[in-house]
Amino acid sequence: MANLINIKKGLQIPLLGASEEVLRGRVTSEFVRICPEDFHGITPKLAVKVDERVKAGTTLFYAKDHPEILFSSPVSGVVAEIERGEKRRILNIVIKADKEIEYEDFGVKKVSSLSPEDVKQSILDAGIWYLIKQRPYDVVAVPGKDPRDIFVTGFDSAPLAPSYDFILEGQETDLQAGLDALAKLTNGKVYLSISTKTKSKALREAKNVVVTEFNGPHPAGNVGVQINHIKPVNRGEVVWTLNAMDAVLIGRLFNSGHVDLTRTVALSGSEVKQTGYYKILVGAELNSIFKGNVTEGISLRYISGNPLTGRRIDGNGVLRAYDSQVTVIPEGDDVHEVFGWASLSPKRYSSGGTYLKHNRKYRLDARLLGGPRAIIVSNEYDKVFPMDIFPEQLIKATLAFNIDKMEQLGIYEVAPEDFALCEFVDTSKLEIQRIIRAGLDLLRSEME
């Protein structure tokens, strides 16, 4: 019987537009775009030129500081364009996709018969190492360092998040192969956290891992929260993290010998007419599922990911590397609400008591609904931050970049996503995730 951990603090934001659990089809697009900025903590160095032919699995670029970390193409085709921004930073690598995907062959391998080194090398060679992230710093894992443990989250508790039971359906053998592979990569343990609600046998009865059940509101599904409750990260320790869908992609590599970055993605959000799930290749353009399927006549915000931590894309955007969810909400910049501070409108949602509570789902837009202020209200962040950490004090230490204080208060245990709910509830409308991200990056450059 798995251990059960109850999470009490947190918040389940009642948003409209949860995905209906129906598979609506497969999304392909003529052009596929890979955005190096998805991969945090690496500086991309190109390995291909425009007009070069690539297969699915061919290296597109690698990490400048760790040339063994490769990033492979999800499709076969021809490199059409390298889009660059300021200081020649690579924004997108655009590939004109073939009709039929041609795969690099990495060979079908049985994980149990491989040595740890072989497992690691196989993942690196295939260019999907980036699926494994590390704490501290929440960046792509550094392959040279042995992780104390590996933590895999088996559910997503974010608003409108995809059901892992649904997206893992039919992927059971790949999931187990992925977990087996991860078990080879650490001398410690692989911890798989599952929701008490999960019915998936593949998750509940996963082998080679320590299964822990979590019960409670978001952010119970965040791997950072799970680590904090299972075995917190101390100074000097490194743990690796990923989610079950990423583990599936790793397992798929060993079982099929191919780099197949097809994800089952939830299309959600209040502005989507017909929600549901799609099989989408990472980097594929999403306009075909948006077209005619979203509210017209108002400005919209398209998000790859969930409304708390996702990345803003536009109507022609692509599925980003780590996401199994696409969300469309109103932008709200065309709304002029009168006397908001006195509003009794049932359309306004607050987790606090300054608005009446209604038992309904809300259609929230992207407005800040206030102006930035100094931190005034106390005990606001704590209520949605279920870790043994003082969030407000840590945020302040990070703003001041007081390294000693940041270490003492637990900066090594957190990722920006752990602060997403703090940012949502914040009366002072601070950009807390950005603050933590900047703090982690600066800390990393100081420490390494």
Interacting residues with another protein between 371 and 390 (CB under 8 A): 371-379, 382, 388-390
Of 280-309, binders to another protein (CB under 8 A) are: 301, 303, 307-309
What angle is formed at CA 164 by the lines to CA 159 and CA 168, rounded to 5 degrees? Answer: 155
Verify binding: residue 342, another protein, rule CB under 8 A. yes
Verify binding: residue 440, another protein, rule CB under 8 A. no
- Burial class for 320, CB neighbours closer than 10 Å (0-12, 13-18, 19+): buried
Q: How far is the CB of 390 from another protein (least distance, A)?
A: 6
Q: Which is nearer to another protein, 281 or 389 (CB)?
A: 389
Verify binding: residue 434, another protein, rule CB under 8 A. yes
First-to-last alpha carbon distance for the chain, in angstroms, is: 41
Q: How far is the CB of 43 from another protein (least distance, A)?
A: 21
Of 143-172, binders to another protein (CB under 8 A) are: 159
Is 295 within 8 Å of 330 (Cβ atoms)? yes
At 447, the amino acid letter reads M
Q: Which one of 1, 115, 296, 338 is in contact with another protein (CB under 8 A)?
A: 338
Is 191 within 8 Å of 152 (Cβ atoms)? yes
- Start-end of H helices in 11-157: 116-126
Verify binding: residue 344, another protein, rule CB under 8 A. no
Verify binding: residue 329, another protein, rule CB under 8 A. yes
DSSP strands (E only) in 238-317: 239-243, 262-268, 276-281, 300-304, 311-313
Verify binding: residue 9, another protein, rule CB under 8 A. no
**In this structure, what token pair is assigned to residue 222?**
């965040």
- Start-end of H helices in 46-132: 116-126
Q: Which is nearer to another protein, 36 or 310 (CB)?
A: 310
Q: Which is nearer to another protein, 99 or 336 (CB)?
A: 336
Q: How far is the CB of 110 from another protein (least distance, A)?
A: 36
Verify binding: residue 423, another protein, rule CB under 8 A. yes
At 57, the amino acid letter reads G
**In this structure, what token pair is assigned to residue 301?**
């915000």
At 48, the amino acid letter reads V
Q: Return the C-alpha torsion angle 112, 118, 120, 126, nearest 10.
A: -100
Q: Which one of 87, 113, 296, 341 is in contact with another protein (CB under 8 A)?
A: 341
Verify binding: residue 348, another protein, rule CB under 8 A. yes
Give kind and range of the element (H or E) at residue 326.
Answer: strand 325-330
Q: Which one of 369, 399, 403, 442 is in contact with another protein (CB under 8 A)?
A: 369
Verify binding: residue 188, another protein, rule CB under 8 A. no
Q: How far is the CB of 379 from another protein (least distance, A)?
A: 6
Q: How many residues bind another protein (CB under 8 A)?
A: 75
Q: Which one of 246, 260, 365, 418 is in contact with another protein (CB under 8 A)?
A: 365
Q: Which is nearer to another protein, 22 or 368 (CB)?
A: 368
Q: Which is nearer to another protein, 3 or 408 (CB)?
A: 408
Of 231-250, binders to another protein (CB under 8 A) are: 232, 234-236
Instruction: Count CB neighbours of 196 within 10 A.
Output: 14
Verify binding: residue 354, another protein, rule CB under 8 A. yes
The one-character DSSP state at 294 is B
Instruction: Count CB neighbours of 112 within 10 A.
Output: 11
Q: How far is the CB of 395 from another protein (least distance, A)?
A: 12
Q: How far is the CB of 220 from another protein (least distance, A)?
A: 18
Q: Which one of 351, 402, 441, 444 is in contact with another protein (CB under 8 A)?
A: 351
- Start-end of H helices in 5-133: 116-126
Is 217 within 8 Å of 425 (Cβ atoms)? no
- Start-end of H helices in 205-243: 223-230
Q: How far is residue 116's CA from residue 187's CA, in Å, rounded to a whole number? A: 10
Of 108-127, binders to another protein (CB under 8 A) are: none
Q: Which is nearer to another protein, 5 or 247 (CB)?
A: 5
Verify binding: residue 42, another protein, rule CB under 8 A. no
Q: How far is residue 178's CA from residue 181's CA, in Å, rounded to a whole number? A: 5
Q: Which one of 3, 6, 274, 350 is in contact with another protein (CB under 8 A)?
A: 350
Verify binding: residue 339, another protein, rule CB under 8 A. yes
